[in-house]
């Protein structure tokens, strides 16, 4: 392998990019981020505020249908193999004339420097007896199937599933587990769906480096000042991706200040070895 290059990737549920574009763009520059996966952008592609990103030196790829959901990437490195949605991703809502459920803008993949990155906004689930809960489990199951196929087709390649998973896999990932009895985000079936990705070989690459800390605090009831939060934003990496990770951070301070998102960024630093050019190989006599 040749020279090692650093790449700084992040995920952030921005909770309406049009309301927070200046804050997000300034953070990208200040924190020297190379690639940002965004969720809950809440706008159509033609409404996405691209200019502040391009002025900051970033290209943008978006996937949004309306004022709900929405995912995107901002990168100052070239993005390739752009994919909006994943194979067999289920829809939700009322069926159309052909009996098909409408799709939602919840998943987008890009490849940067040979690393496959996905921005994911997993359905909330709402309540345990709500159809959205079954949709959430189906959505995660289909994502696991797609991940299995990708790993089989690309063994040894780095892959990261990044975003708002809307699942707290550990009791310590919520401020008081007793208050969540009978609620979504902590139910056994949701946690099993999350654990299925670990069975596939993916790991939470942030937790070993940042064992404690929440990534989300509701706007209501002074949740943030009381630190009554949840850890629901994750970067799950394949073994090849995990080997590249050198450090990780949860940027808690981004929940402070004027008009913050209710989520904060999660950042992972990578070291990516460059393949040796054949012309640069040493001569052997």
Range of the domain at 17: 4-277
Domain count, the chain: 1
Q: Which residue has the tokens 């797609």?
A: 146
The yes-or-no verdict on residue 1 having pLDDT over 80 is no
What's this model's pTM, rounded to 2 decimal places?
A: 0.94
Q: Is residue 285 assigned to a domain?
A: no
- Helix, coil or strand: residue 76: coil
Q: Is residue 195 assigned to a domain?
A: yes
Residue 235's beta-bridge partner residues? 162
Residue 102 has what pLDDT? Answer: 86
For residue 105, the domain's CATH number is 3.60.10.10
Q: What b/e string do you get for 15-30 counting C-beta neighbours within 10 Å, with b at 16 or more?
A: bebeebbebbbebbee
Q: How far apart are CA 61 and CA 41, in angstroms?
A: 12
Q: How far apart are CA 156 and CA 201, in angstroms?
A: 11
From the CB of residue 216, how many other CB atoms can be counted at a distance below 10 Å?
Answer: 24
As a whole-number percent, the residues of the chain with pLDDT over 70 amount to 95
- Helix, coil or strand: residue 161: strand
From its phi and psi, is residue 192 left (phi > 0), alpha (psi between -120 and 50) or beta?
A: alpha
Q: Is residue 175 assigned to a domain?
A: yes
Residue 96 has what pLDDT? Answer: 85
The tens digit of pLDDT for each residue in 236-258 reads 999 999 999 999 999 999 999 99
Q: Is residue 284 assigned to a domain?
A: no
The tens digit of pLDDT for each residue in 213-235 reads 999 999 999 999 999 999 999 99
Smallest CA-to-CA distance from 86 within 112, 120, 113, 56 is with 120
Residue 111's beta-bridge partner residues? 80, 116
Residue 275 has what pLDDT? Answer: 62
The tens digit of pLDDT for each residue in 129-171 reads 999 999 999 999 999 999 999 999 999 999 999 999 999 999 9
Strand order in the sheet with 245-250: 59-63, 71-75, 35-39, 4-13, 266-273, 245-250
The yes-or-no verdict on residue 282 having pLDDT over 60 is no
End-to-end CA gap in the chain: 21
Q: Is residue 139 assigned to a domain?
A: yes
Q: Is residue 176 assigned to a domain?
A: yes
Q: Is residue 283 assigned to a domain?
A: no
The tens digit of pLDDT for each residue in 50-93 reads 999 999 999 999 999 998 999 999 999 999 999 999 989 999 98
From the CB of residue 209, how many other CB atoms can be counted at a distance below 10 Å?
Answer: 15
Backbone angles phi, psi at 243, to 5 degrees: -65, -20
Residue 280 has what pLDDT? Answer: 47
The tens digit of pLDDT for each residue in 14-41 reads 999 999 999 999 999 999 999 999 999 9
Q: How far apart are CA 221 and CA 118, in angstroms?
A: 33
More confident residue, 93 or 182: 182
Confidence of residue 4 (pLDDT cuts 50, 70, 90): low
How many CA atoms does the CB half-sphere of 91 hold within 13 Å?
9
Residue 279 has what pLDDT? Answer: 52
Q: Is residue 36 assigned to a domain?
A: yes
Give the pLDDT mean for 166-185: 97
Confidence of residue 100 (pLDDT cuts 50, 70, 90): confident
Residue 218 has what pLDDT? Answer: 98
Backbone angles phi, psi at 197, to 5 degrees: -70, -30
């Amino acid at each position: 392998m040749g020279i090692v290059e650093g790449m700084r990737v992040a995920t952030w549920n921005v909770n309406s990019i049009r309301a927070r574009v200046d804050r997000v763009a300034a953070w990208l520059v200040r924190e020297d981020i190379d690639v940002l996966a965004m969720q809950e952008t809440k706008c159509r592609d033609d409404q996405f505020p691209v200019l502040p990103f391009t002025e900051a030196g970033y290209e943008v790829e978006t996937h949004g249908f309306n004022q709900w959901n929405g995912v995107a990437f901002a990168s100052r490195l070239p993005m390739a193999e752009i994919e909006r949605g994943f194979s067999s991703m289920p829809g939700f809502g009322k069926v159309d004339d052909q009996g098909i459920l409408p799709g939602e803008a919840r998943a987008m993949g890009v490849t940067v420097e040979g690393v496959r990155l996905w921005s994911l906004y997993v359905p909330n689930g709402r309540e345990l007896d709500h159809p959205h809960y079954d949709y959430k489990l189906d959505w995660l199951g289909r994502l696991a199937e797609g991940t299995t196929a990708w790993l089989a087709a690309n063994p040894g390649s780095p892959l990261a599933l990044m975003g708002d998973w809307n699942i707290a896999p550990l009791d310590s990932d919520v401020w008081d587990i007793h208050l969540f009895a009978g609620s979504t985000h902590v139910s056994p079936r949701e946690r099993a769906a999350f654990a299925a990705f670990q069975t596939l070989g993916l790991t939470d690459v942030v937790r070993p480096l940042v064992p404690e800390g929440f990534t989300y605090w509701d706007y209501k009831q002074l949740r943030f000042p009381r630190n009554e939060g949840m850890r629901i934003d994750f970067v799950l990496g394949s073994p090849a991706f995990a080997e590249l990770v050198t450090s990780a951070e949860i940027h808690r301070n981004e929940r402070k200040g004027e008009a913050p998102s209710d989520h904060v960024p999660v950042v992972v630093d990578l070291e990516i070895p460059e393949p040796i050019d054949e012309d640069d190989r040493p001569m052997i006599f």
